[in-house]
Amino acid sequence: EKTKEGLFSKLSRAIVGKSKVDDEVLDELEEILISSDVGVETTVKIIRRIEERVARDKFVSTSELDEILREEIAELLAQNKSEDITDAFKKSDIKPYVIMVVGVNGVGKTTTIGKLASQFHKAGNKVILGAGDTFRAAAVDQLKLWGQRVGIPVIDHGMNTDPASVAFDAVKQAVEQQADVVIIDTAGRLHNKVNLMNELAKIKRVVQKFLPEAPHEVLLVLDGSTGQNAFIQAQEFTKATDVTALAITKLDGTAKGGVVIGISDQFKIPVKYIGVGEKIEDLQVFNKKEFVNSLFKRKA
Amino acid sequence: MFENLSNKLNTAMRTLKGKGRITDVNVAATVKEIRRALMDADVNYKVAKEITDRIKDEAMGQKIVIAVDPGQMLVKIVHDELVKLMGSQVQGINLKSDPSVILIAGLQGSGKTTFSGKLAQYLKKSGRNVLLVACDIYRPAAIDQLKVLGEQVEVEVYSEPENKNAVQIAQNALEYARKIGKKVIIVDTAGRLAVDEAMMNEIAAVKEAIKPSETLFVVDSMTGQDAVNTAKAFNDRLNFDGVVLTKLDGDARGGAALSIRHVVEKPIKFISTGEKMDALDQFYPDRMASRILGMGDVLSLVERA
Ligand SMILES: Nc1nc2c(ncn2[C@@H]2O[C@H](COP(=O)(O)OP(=O)(O)OP(=O)(O)O)[C@@H](O)[C@H]2O)c(=O)[nH]1
Ligand SMILES: Nc1nc2c(ncn2[C@@H]2O[C@H](COP(=O)(O)OP(=O)(O)OP(=O)(O)O)[C@@H](O)[C@H]2O)c(=O)[nH]1
Ligand SMILES: [Mg+2]
Ligand SMILES: [Mg+2]
């Protein structure tokens, strides 16, 4: 395991030999936050809060800065009222538990579904996948290969069929076969395309005809290297489908994923999973404390 | 969420109003707003700083045209600077060798395979005999995906489903292309992270083996601050010839385009604007500059004045 250098390890280098948080340190902090895609708005908010504390406490040593930052960021993440999930893949009382996975093109929806299916399966759940991306070239084949890897069935109607009826069928078969979890893949779509966003709402409605309380989870997948557009994605997908949870992918790259902080600050949707690679086991349940700690990790 | 830059500037600009010249004092707040707008558009922090510093120097002492807002005038200066930075003219691709080899590289999910299909169609339409080559041996159904696209655009796809050696596949494809007289081969590769040493070695080896006349780096226009690091890392290993900016049919402001251009100094050669095979366009620096700044109206106003 390689240890990724945390967001703020650079900050500690910038302030060696100083005893007091001054403008230069705050500038450095601003650069770090913006460069991690936290976003200007949230960055300004964090800086302002620290400035206020410096003013109030008259003297803040740079060693205290780490602590204050930790608190501030933890608080931003806490505004997003989620409890940390400890038993994400345990059998639910709800059966079948229906998860619909949505997001813009290429973020990692299908891969995340493969990884999730594997975890649910390992935890003893009977899992069924629905091949609701009937549009992108070879999308059904891709999901089927994931199904094979995990060793679970994939319901598909082939390419260029109605995704809503695939979803309907997957849920219906899950009920008939007494499956525990159904995960429905959908085609990637940009949130500014009205027709495609309406199609998502339709998939949801059609599933509800069969199972009124489904989907129990609408998982929005965001690419961890996405910049400020992630905010609009969260906003628009929520409008169309009432997103209930987020998965942030590709955090094995060099992008710092600061977008998590900004999004937690502005939306009340919890981050549930993070993707850290292309392999079946490269999925982690999001843990706030670990995440904050990782931001402060020094290079090993 | 993003207000128009000119709206944002209005407040900052009030201090400039009525002054005849742009000066150090009255320009500071404005430059800060511009910098912020650039960062909101995902322009890299350092790049945004460099650009706005330069613009400040340029703007200093300029006479303000009476008819327009000084803020608008500054925006025009910024816009022109961005256009200049992104390269003022359209750049084509090099197809002089026979066969010409085009290598496609980039991060996971950036749009490489889709772009490969589009480029094949585009070159075919301009009368070239094209071969697509499937060198992604990792992603599930990657070969099938390229084959479907190849069918759609009616271009042959070379693949070796059993072969797990991308370098070999690329070499064999080149040999095959020579034999059957293909003029251009487009090599689609697996997505990879710049920090993945083994995968970066692989694509460097593919490049070494087939000596492309054109290596293109495909990047998602929604990419944030990390775009510069990734582009730089790919460029260090591949010394690519140009950039392809994808998913511009979305509403991302696309500041990554500016950052990448600024840091690696390679032209943006194509933009991708949809999932369909004809959604390919040339890159126009002036349109991109307006997009990054989140404006359109301001420019025409200044132009008229
Ligand atoms: N490094 C890395 N790559 C990932 C991760 N998750 C997905 N990928 C890769 O990203 C690419 C796109 O993943 P997909 O699962 O096909 O994405 P998608 O959202 O289903 O794409 P569309 O259906 O085309 O919209 C593939 O090459 C995946 O292997 C991750 O956590 N880390
Ligand atoms: N809206 C839109 N979608 C695009 C564009 N280019 C590609 N896509 C979509 O983005 C997703 C990923 O595209 P791919 O071509 O599979 O990306 P890739 O870089 O080959 O992915 P990997 O091989 O997994 O690394 C697919 O859903 C494409 O349909 C574009 O310009 N606009
Ligand atoms: Mg998919
Ligand atoms: Mg591909």
Query: What is the per-residue pLDDT for A299?
Result: 54
Is B225 an 8 Å CB contact of chain A? yes
Query: What is the per-residue pLDDT for A3?
Result: 46
User: Tens digit of pLDDT for each residue in B15-65?
Assistant: 555 555 566 556 777 788 888 889 999 999 999 999 988 888 877 766 655
User: Tens digit of pLDDT for each residue in A6-51?
Assistant: 677 666 666 666 667 778 888 888 998 999 999 888 899 889 988 8
Sign for the pseudo-dihedral over CA of B8, B10, B16, B21: positive
- Predicted confidence (pLDDT) at residue A80 exceeds the cutoff of 70: no
Closest-CA residue, ligand 1 atom 14, reads A108
Query: What is the per-residue pLDDT for A145?
Result: 98
Other CB atoms within 10 Å distance of the CB of residue B164: 10
Beta-strand runs (E) in B152-279: 156-158, 184-189, 214-220, 242-246, 268-272
The CA distance from B153 to B277, in Å, is: 7
pTM: 0.94
Query: What is the per-residue pLDDT for A107?
Result: 98
Is B107 an 8 Å CB contact of chain A? yes
- Best mutation site among A101, A102, A105, A196 for ligand 2, i.e. most ligand atoms within 8 A of its Cβ? A105
Which residue in B110, B138, B140 is closest to A146 by CB distance? Answer: B140
- Best mutation site among A4, A110, A111 for ligand 1, i.e. most ligand atoms within 8 A of its Cβ? A111
Closest-CA residue, ligand 1 atom 6, reads A108
Distance from residue A187's CA to the centre of ligand 3 (Å): 6
Kindly report the average pLDDT of chain B as a whole number: 88
Bridging pattern class, strands B214-220 and B130-135: unpaired
Other CB atoms within 10 Å distance of the CB of residue A268: 10
User: Tens digit of pLDDT for each residue in B136-181?
Assistant: 999 999 999 999 999 999 999 999 999 999 999 999 999 999 999 9
- Interchain pair A145, B220: CB under 8 A: no
Spatial neighbors of B119 by CB under 8 A, at least 6 apart, are: B102, B104, B186, B270, B280
Distance from residue A224's CA to the centre of ligand 1 (Å): 11
Closest approach atom of ligand 1 to CA A224: 31
Which of chain A's residues have a Cβ under 8 Å away from the Cβ of B44?
35
Other CB atoms within 10 Å distance of the CB of residue A199: 19
Query: What is the per-residue pLDDT for B305?
Result: 45
ipTM of the complex as predicted:
0.94
Q: Encoding tokens for residue A271?
A: 């981050």
Which of chain B's residues have a Cβ under 8 Å away from the Cβ of A256?
225-226
Query: What is the per-residue pLDDT for B125?
Result: 96
- Interchain pair A35, B225: CB under 8 A: yes
